[in-house]
């Protein structure tokens, strides 16, 4: 896509879009970017992105390099320095339009979004994609007409049509990824907000339970002293003692405070899991505990594991090994766990609704055996060697037939009903594991004997 093509494409869109080189040079912008900065669009062309942001040159270059080398959307944050001296914090989404080659620099499409405003421009993007589709159709018709006139011209039109078709496919996939990234980002922000709001009052309660217990014990000791000093209490006081069952109160109040302490500690564990899962928006490599990511994802899906209506309870079997901390993109890895676990839950629910018997034969995978007495998911982790770890997620559902198995990781392929799935979950998971983490993602399944997804990632060699 040339800067001129970009301007033609972006001119009708109300959202701020920039076309930049991998070195940060502004090749083209649309009017919303100029309005955001308080400048004219002619004043922006050819200048460097660094002139308009407060981030360091090193951070901006790293972000653009990440956009250039990734085949997925890269989410970041840029603080714009407006012409009036004010700053505006924007969330950026970068996608490479033309990968780097020896002949030319990479072209990167940046979409800016004011964090304080909600964006609703996907409808317009869909309309533009439809226009491109119509343009492809027109060019195909022109191709048929030009065949009779000139063979060379026919070849050129065919090449142009093919290029437009590839651009259309790329835009459709990019648009769907944008929607998916926005959903996951919103989920992460919502979960983090809920965890924060719960944590504050719970911390207050937990911090005061100790003092409340101590004050109560002090008061009870005072009552005991009164009983010892004045054993012959007036009838009115004795009647009140019997009414409140003072002896039972002495015994039960300690247990009461212990149960309240256990309850608040449990809430704090849930909040910790929610915070762990809310790393969905992180784009930084970090050393993390893989088990914490799995457990936090299970916590989010806990409501689907419980028995409800026609669905039986789904048992989760954990076979965790001692794993080292792994250098990875934790938010993206949580997204993979979420996608695979949701697919396993869907498969087990389909088994229950269709009345498929769960008490059938045994299924052996490596050294593990799943007995299909009840719907269950088994999660196993282990260290393969000094450089690799493995995570296995297996269910005892209906399994996957060979025709579907070969298309599992294709984009937009889904067996779910319309509105139930986009067909991007496993495709994005494959990209995250294979391309982002230099790992492996495989599925092993026999129809009627469940399915197993095996994730293998390096411990520290993510590039």
Name every residue whose Cβ is closer than 8 Å to that of residue 414 and which is 6 or more positions away in sequence: 420, 421, 422, 423
Q: Residue 41: pLDDT above 90?
A: no
217 compared with 368, residue with greater pLDDT: 217
- Three-state DSSP state, 314: coil
Q: Residue 381: pLDDT above 90?
A: yes
H or E element in which residue 276 lies: helix 246-277
Contact 201, 271 (CB under 8 A): no
> pLDDT tier at 283 (50, 70, 90 boundaries)?
low
Q: Residue 9: pLDDT above 50?
A: yes
Q: Provide the pairing of β-strand 376-383 with 315-319.
A: parallel
Q: Residue 287: pLDDT above 50?
A: yes
- Three-state DSSP state, 25: strand
Contact 359, 372 (CB under 8 A): yes
pTM for the full model?
Answer: 0.46
The pLDDT score that the predictor gives to residue 389 is 95
What DSSP letter does each residue of 334-393 carry, written as one string? Answer: HHHHHHHHHHHHHHHHHHHHTT--S---EEEETTEEEETTS-EEEEEEEE-SSSEEEEEE
Q: Provide the pairing of β-strand 17-21 with 26-29.
A: antiparallel
CATH class of 282-458: alpha beta
State pLDDT tens for residues 414-431.
666 555 555 677 888 888
State pLDDT tens for residues 109-120.
898 988 766 445
Mean pLDDT of the chain: 80
Phi-psi region of 313 (alpha: psi -120 to 50; beta: other; left: phi over 0): beta
The pLDDT score that the predictor gives to residue 372 is 43
The CA distance from 133 to 146, in Å, is 20
The pLDDT score that the predictor gives to residue 122 is 47
State pLDDT tens for residues 133-191.
888 888 888 877 666 677 777 777 788 888 888 888 777 767 666 665 555 555 556 66
- Whole-angstrom distance between the N-terminal and C-terminal Cα of the chain? 28
The pLDDT score that the predictor gives to residue 369 is 40
The CA distance from 1 to 7, in Å, is 10
* % of the chain with per-residue pLDDT over 70: 79
| Local structure of residue 52 (DSSP, 8 states) | G
Q: How many residues does the chain have?
A: 463
Quote the tokens at residue 453: 């997804």
State pLDDT tens for residues 242-282.
888 888 888 888 888 887 887 787 777 677 666 666 555 45
The CA distance from 16 to 34, in Å, is 8
* % of the chain with per-residue pLDDT over 90: 21
- Domain chopping of the chain, boundaries: 1-117, 189-275, 282-458
Superfamily of domain 1-117: PAS domain (3.30.450.20)
Nearest-CA neighbor of 115 among 80, 81, 82, 86? 80
Buried b (16+ CB within 10 A) or exposed e, 247-279: eeeeeeeeeebeeeeeebeebeebbbbbbbbbb
The pLDDT score that the predictor gives to residue 277 is 62
Nearest-CA neighbor of 73 among 99, 101, 111? 111
The CA distance from 75 to 67, in Å, is 9
């Amino acid at each position: 896509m040339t800067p001129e093509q970009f301007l033609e494409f972006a001119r009708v869109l109300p959202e701020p879009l920039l076309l930049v080189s991998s070195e940060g040079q502004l090749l083209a912008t649309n009017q919303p970017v100029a309005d955001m900065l308080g400048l004219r669009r002619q004043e922006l062309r050819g200048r460097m992105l660094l002139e308009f942001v407060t981030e360091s040159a090193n951070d901006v270059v790293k972000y653009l390099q990440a956009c250039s080398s990734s085949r997925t959307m890269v989410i970041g944050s840029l603080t714009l320095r407006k012409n009036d001296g004010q700053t505006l914090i924007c969330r950026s989404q970068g996608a490479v339009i033309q990968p780097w080659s020896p002949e030319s620099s990479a072209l990167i499409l940046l979409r800016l979004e004011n964090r304080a405003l909600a964006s609703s421009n996907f409808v317009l993007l869909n309309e533009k994609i439809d226009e491109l589709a119509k343009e492809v159709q027109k060019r195909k018709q022109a191709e048929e007409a030009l065949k009779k006139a000139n063979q060379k011209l026919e070849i050129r039109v065919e090449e142009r049509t093919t290029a437009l078709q590839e651009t259309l496919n790329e835009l459709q996939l990019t648009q769907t990824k944008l929607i998916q990234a926005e959903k996951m980002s919103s989920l992460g922000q919502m979960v983090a907000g809920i965890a924060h709001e719960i944590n504050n009052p719970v911390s207050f309660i937990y911090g005061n339970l100790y003092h409340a217990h101590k004050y109560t014990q002090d008061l009870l000791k005072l009552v005991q002293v009164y009983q010892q000093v004045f054993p012959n209490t007036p009838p009115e006081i004795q009647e009140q003692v019997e009414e409140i069952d003072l002896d039972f109160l002495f015994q039960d109040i300690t247990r009461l405070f212990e149960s309240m302490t256990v309850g608040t500690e449990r809430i704090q564990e849930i909040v910790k899991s929610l915070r762990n899962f809310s790393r969905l928006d992180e784009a930084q490599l970090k050393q993390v505990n893989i088990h914490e990511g799995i457990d936090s994802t299970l916590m989010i899906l806990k409501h689907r594991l419980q028995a409800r209506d026609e669905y039986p309870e789904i048992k989760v079997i954990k076979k965790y090994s001692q794993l080292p901390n792994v250098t990875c993109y934790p938010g993206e890895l949580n997204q993979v766990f979420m996608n695979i676990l949701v697919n396993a839950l869907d498969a087990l629910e389909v088994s229950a609704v269709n009345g498929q018997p769960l008490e059938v034969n045994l299924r052996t995978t490596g050294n593990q055996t799943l007995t299909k007495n009840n719907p269950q998911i088994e999660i196993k982790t282990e260290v393969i060697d000094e450089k690799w770890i493995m995570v296995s997620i297996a269910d005892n559902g209906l399994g996957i037939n060979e025709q579907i198995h070969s298309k599992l990781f294709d984009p937009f392929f889904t067996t779910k009903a319309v509105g139930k799935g986009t067909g991007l979950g496993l495709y994005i998971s494959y990209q995250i594991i294979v391309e982002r983490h230099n790992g492996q993602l495989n599925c092993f399944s026999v129809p009627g004997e469940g399915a197993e997804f095996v994730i293998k990632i390096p411990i520290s060699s993510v590039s």
